[in-house]
Structure 1
Amino acid sequence: MGVATGEFEVACAVPPAKMFQAAVLDADELFPKIMSQGIKSAELIEGDGGAGSIRKINLVEGNFCMKHKVDALDKESFVYNYTIFEGDTLTGKFEKIVYETKYVSSPDGGSIFKATVSFHTLAGFDVPAEKLVNTAKEKATVMVKTVEAYLQAN
């Protein structure tokens, strides 16, 4: 077992408070609508949405799902940390995937999505950290840009 960790950022034109509201607090309702090609549904299955809560995300492709636990949620500083601990995303590769995320203000009035991701791999599964982090960044960029476009249009 090993741990591959990396950081990345994604800039957008929408202020942090608005991005955090849509991408984190309203995600269960919003993502299946605006990211329907990948997310079938999302639901809180345990807790009130804060730290310790469990969320289940059902993916379109292959009828897959994943569960993640909210590690931290700070509405004032726009921090959302969570751990993917169960689901098809992990099968045969990872024990868990941990995300530490935050939206911060950018000089142009928009925001920057900052993330640290740690892939806790199972024995026998070795992929370069750079490849794992780049894949995470690609997926996060799609999410940020999709939410940004939705908020700008509505």
Structure 2
Amino acid sequence: MGVITYDMELASPIPPAKLFKAFVLDADTLIPKIMPQAIKSVEILEGDGGPGTIKLTTFGEGSQFKSVKQRIDGIDKENFTYNYSIIEGDALQDAIESISYEVQILPGADGGSICKNSSKYTTKGDTQITEEQIKAGKEKASAMFKAIESYLLANPDA
């Protein structure tokens, strides 16, 4: 078993509180609305939306995967941090035990935000994750972030 970590940072003109609300708090309904090809639905299986909550994410027609279960590990609405783990599903591909994410949205320049995301892949056995796989994951996360940002810019009252 090994752990592979990568970090990603994205700047946005959206203020931190608004970005956190859309990207974290409202994501389960917002992302299927604006990116149905990526995520078809998100439903809570257990819990109240706080730490320990288990969610089932069903991917859209454009995805190579069917679904994953994720667990909320922590959420801090005042400091705009969110931690969650992918604990089950075909996206783990029998090679990954789990994937943990730490998201933090910080104040950026001119009233905007900096979104920092740290991902930790815990692999099974001697499994290796390639640079191409990491790059593909970063591109998907970046596309989802940019879609939310575009939605907020086009809908300032959202």
TM-score when normalising by structure 2: 0.91
**Secondary structure of 1:108's partner?**
helix
- Change in CA separation of 1:88 and 1:27 when aligned onto 2, cut-off 3 Å: same
Residue matched to 2:141: 140
Gap regions ≥5 residues in structure 1? none
Given that 1:5 and 1:133 are in contact with CA atoms closer than 8 Å, whether structure 2 keeps it comes out as: no
1:85-113 CA-partner distances (Å, limit 9, x unpaired): 00010021200000011111101211111
What code does the residue aligned with 1:82 have? Answer: Y
Gap regions ≥5 residues in structure 2? none
Please provide the CA RMSD for this pair.
1.5
Q: In the TM superposition, what are the counterparts of 1:1-154 in structure 2 within 5 Å? A: 1-60=1-60, 61=63, 64-128=66-130, 130-154=131-155
Given that 2:65 and 2:91 are in contact with CA atoms closer than 8 Å, whether structure 1 keeps it comes out as: no
What code does the residue aligned with 2:118 have? Answer: T
Looking at structure 1, the residues matched to 80 and 129 of structure 2 have their Cα atoms a distance apart, in angstroms, of 31
Percent identity of paired positions between Structure 1 and Structure 2: 46
Looking at structure 1, the residues matched to 86 and 9 of structure 2 have their Cα atoms a distance apart, in angstroms, of 20
**Secondary structure of 1:51's partner?**
coil
**Secondary structure of 2:49's partner?**
coil
- Alpha-carbon offset, residue 142 of structure 1: 0.8
TM-score when normalising by structure 1: 0.93
Looking at structure 1, the residues matched to 118 and 73 of structure 2 have their Cα atoms a distance apart, in angstroms, of 14
